[in-house]
């Protein structure tokens, strides 16, 4: 059954938000993040320091999209206040691998004794620090930080070998939202 759906989200005081067409632009200091709402039946506006999403004749689908957009916007607010940090660790049992940062790629040399270096793409806006075998990622954008960590982990995926013996690779050891032990 179609009915009118209205959802709102409070904007924190230190963050400024602007709606331009179907885009929500959030700024704090010199960091700017955008999110696009692609569903034409849902309207997006800012009233009284709140982001208001409304739909005149909405169904379950529009309700789900609105809730997802609100969750992504809350991640933007969290990222603008403090960055999302991932920690990765390089493990090597057979051959010592070396990690080198080159513009927007991470070069992984001598992985399993391979002569050709493996590469992992680093998305824009992600800061990386390499300290020996430990890698620290941080970004205001949760999706960019997570995708970069996944790119690095996937670059050292081992195929056609026994994982019980060949345990080399780069693995995510800490994600945002999980407690460290």
CA-closest candidate to residue 58, choices 117, 137, 3: 3
Looking at the structure of the chain, the number of domains it has is 2
Residues 154 and 96 in one domain: yes
Expressed as residue numbers, the domain containing 89 is 84-174
What six digits make up the tokens of 150? 């996944």
Read off the DSSP letter of residue 135. E
Residue 42: strand, helix, or coil: coil
Residues 14 and 94 in one domain: no
CATH number of the domain bearing residue 66: 3.90.930.12
Specify the pTM.
0.88
pLDDT (tens place) for every residue of the chain, 181 residues total: 789 999 999 999 999 999 998 999 999 989 999 999 988 899 999 999 999 999 999 899 999 999 999 999 999 999 999 999 999 999 998 789 999 999 899 999 999 899 999 999 999 999 999 999 999 999 999 999 999 999 999 999 999 988 888 889 999 999 998 776 6
Has residue 180 been placed in a domain?
A: no
Has residue 181 been placed in a domain?
A: no
Residues 74 and 92 in one domain: no
Has residue 179 been placed in a domain?
A: no
Has residue 64 been placed in a domain?
A: yes
């Amino acid at each position: 059954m179609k009915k009118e759906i209205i959802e709102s989200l409070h904007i924190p005081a230190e963050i400024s938000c602007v709606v331009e067409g179907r885009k929500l632009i959030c700024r704090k200091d010199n960091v700017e993040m955008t999110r696009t709402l692609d569903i034409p039946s849902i309207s997006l506006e800012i009233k009284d320091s709140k982001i208001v999403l409304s739909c005149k004749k909405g169904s379950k689908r529009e309700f789900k999209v609105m809730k997802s957009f609100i969750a992504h916007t809350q991640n933007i607010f969290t990222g603008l206040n403090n960055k999302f940090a991932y920690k990765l660790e390089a493990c090597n049992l057979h051959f010592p691998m070396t990690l080198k940062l080159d513009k927007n790629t991470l070069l992984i040399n001598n992985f399993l004794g391979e002569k050709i270096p493996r590469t992992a793409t680093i998305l824009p806006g992600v800061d990386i620090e390499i300290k020996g075998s430990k890698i620290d990622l941080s970004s205001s954008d949760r999706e960019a930080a997570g995708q970069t960590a996944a790119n690095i982990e996937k670059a050292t995926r081992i195929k056609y070998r026994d994982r019980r013996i060949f345990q080399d690779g780069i693995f995510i050891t800490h994600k945002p939202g999980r407690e460290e032990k």
